[in-house]
Amino acid sequence: MQELGRLDDLPLAYRESLEAQNLVPLWPSLRSVLPPGTPARRTQAVKWSYAALRPLLIQAGELTPIEKAERRVLVLSNPGHGLEKMQASAAIYLGMQLLLPGEWAPAHKHTPNAVRMIVEGEGAYTTVDGEKCPMHRGDLILTPTGLWHEHGHDGEDPVVWLDVLDLPLVYYTETSYATEGQEQAVTGTRLERNYARGGVVPSPVFTRGSARTYPMLRYPWADARSALLNLAEAQPDVEAVQVAYVNPESGNDCQNILGFSALMLRPGETLPLPARSPAMVFHVIEGGAEVCADDKTFSLAPADTCCTPGYVPVTLKNPSPSEPAFIFIADESPLHKKLGVYEVRA
Ligand code: GTQ
């Protein structure tokens, strides 16, 4: 490949004249913005241990009252991007949020999309768009763009959940903002039951108005788990025992920018994944897993989380000879597909 001219090959007076006109020569930077073959990535493969993070999160509960935090979150930050950027990958933000008994995180809405994956504790709930969504371990609760949401806790013990947002991308596009609001009136609860039987959905024919843009906001873990066990039993040869969290009215990804799925690794199973353009996040719901990517191997225990960059193969392994492992996965594939840059490399 041809070596191109450098900035300091150019006379200083010429560079100053360019700068005075807000002009920049392309050729000294061409290879760095269009690197040959594979993109440059800041995203590193990183693991966050729940055992290491939990005491620090509990300490945040002692140090900072909820009124002073609004959302009491420790952000899982990828050092490859710089910790202060609060990014797990180019498009993914991850945070562990703590809510103590009796606490209240007030209503707001914002342009980034969020989901919560409940990690521990009973008795908390989030109200999204007037729907009260109880939180139990492994449940996935959506907070799509523009919907009001607030969190409350009527239980006895700390509740922790993993927040996954597309905040880095929305911030980058200069479209990230929030609006504060009043406590919501609850107009419904557990509307996901409307979609609990595959293939039948509420009929729009005799009802006024159309289906909500985001008809299903809560995906109970008990249902996703039994779908995985059923798939493993019904199709023992299936390559990956994986279910996607989708919009049950359209069958599309449940949110616009990030994709979410749950994977079961059978006892002893090794699952090689090809190099794909999106970065991924793995969070263990039950069991244990080894994640190998980019010359790193992470051993994940329940509630541990890791991320992997795009364009590298990833191998997942369940080291247990007797117990299945259940993993929550978030990735950037809806974004890449919409942008037309999605790739799978053989
Ligand atoms: O719970 O609404 O981790 O607004 C970051 C921003 C959680 C939330 C985060 C948020 C929230």
Contacts of 23 (CB under 8 A, 6+ apart): none
Residue of minimum CA distance from atom 6 in ligand 1: 71
Which atom in ligand 1 lies closest to the alpha carbon of residue 163? 3
Stretch 132-143: mean pLDDT, rounded? 98
The CA-CA-CA angle for residues 305, 219, 274, to 5°, reads 45
What distance in Å separates the CA atoms of residue 247 and residue 263, rounded to the nearest whole number? 18
Query: What is the amino acid identity at position 300?
Result: L
- In this predicted structure, what is the pLDDT of residue 114? 98
Residues 178-202 have pLDDT tens digits of: 999 999 999 999 999 999 998 999 8
Query: What is the amino acid identity at position 120?
Result: E
Query: Which pLDDT band holds residue 206 (cuts at 50, 70, 90)?
Result: confident
Whether the predicted pLDDT of 156 surpasses 70: yes
Q: What is the pTM of this model?
A: 0.97
CA of 109 to the centre of ligand 1 (A): 10
Whether the predicted pLDDT of 215 surpasses 70: yes
Ligand 1 within 6 A of 97 CB?
Answer: yes
316 vs 189, 222, 329, 332, CA distance in Å?
36, 23, 12, 18
Residues 302-341 have pLDDT tens digits of: 999 999 999 999 999 999 999 999 999 999 999 999 999 9
SS3 of residue 43 by DSSP: coil
CB 253 within 8 A of CB 244: yes
Hey, where are the domains in the chain? Answer: 46-345
- In this predicted structure, what is the pLDDT of residue 207? 80
Instruction: Provide, rounded to the nearest whole percent, the portion of the chain with pLDDT above 70.
Output: 99
Ligand 1 within 6 A of 76 CB?
Answer: no
- In this predicted structure, what is the pLDDT of residue 211? 73
- In this predicted structure, what is the pLDDT of residue 210? 66
Mutational pocket test of ligand 1: of 165, 180, 217, 305, the residue with most ligand atoms within 8 Å of the beta carbon: 165
CA of 228 to the centre of ligand 1 (A): 29
Whether the predicted pLDDT of 208 surpasses 90: no
Mutational pocket test of ligand 1: of 48, 53, 97, the residue with most ligand atoms within 8 Å of the beta carbon: 97
- In this predicted structure, what is the pLDDT of residue 130? 96
- In this predicted structure, what is the pLDDT of residue 340? 98
Residues 74-120 have pLDDT tens digits of: 999 999 999 999 999 999 999 999 999 999 999 999 999 999 999 99
The structure tokens 């509307």 sit at 191
CA of 51 to the centre of ligand 1 (A): 22
- Going by C-alpha positions, the residue among 170, 126, 165 that lies closest to residue 148 is 126
- In this predicted structure, what is the pLDDT of residue 209? 66
Stretch 3-30: mean pLDDT, rounded? 98
Mutational pocket test of ligand 1: of 70, 71, 94, the residue with most ligand atoms within 8 Å of the beta carbon: 71
Residues 266-278 have pLDDT tens digits of: 999 999 999 999 9
What distance in Å separates the CA atoms of residue 136 and residue 133, rounded to the nearest whole number? 10
Ligand 1 within 6 A of 163 CB?
Answer: yes
Whether the predicted pLDDT of 280 surpasses 80: yes
CB 168 within 8 A of CB 112: no
Which atom in ligand 1 lies closest to the alpha carbon of residue 73? 3
Residues 238-260 have pLDDT tens digits of: 999 999 999 999 999 999 999 99
10 vs 18, 23, 62, 73, 110, CA distance in Å?
11, 14, 58, 48, 46
Whether the predicted pLDDT of 205 surpasses 90: no
Residues 22-52 have pLDDT tens digits of: 999 999 999 999 999 999 999 999 999 999 9
**DSSP structure string for 244-298:** E-B-TTT-SBSSSS-EEEEEEEPTT-EEEE-EESS-EEEEEEES-EEEEETTEEE
Stretch 123-144: mean pLDDT, rounded? 98
CA of 313 to the centre of ligand 1 (A): 31
SS3 of residue 52 by DSSP: helix
CA of 151 to the centre of ligand 1 (A): 10
Query: Which pLDDT band holds residue 53 (cuts at 50, 70, 90)?
Result: very high
Question: Which stretch of 123-137, 201-215, 278-292 has the lowest confidence by average pLDDT?
Answer: 201-215
Ligand 1 within 6 A of 95 CB?
Answer: yes
Query: Which CATH number is associated with domain 46-345?
Result: 2.60.120.10
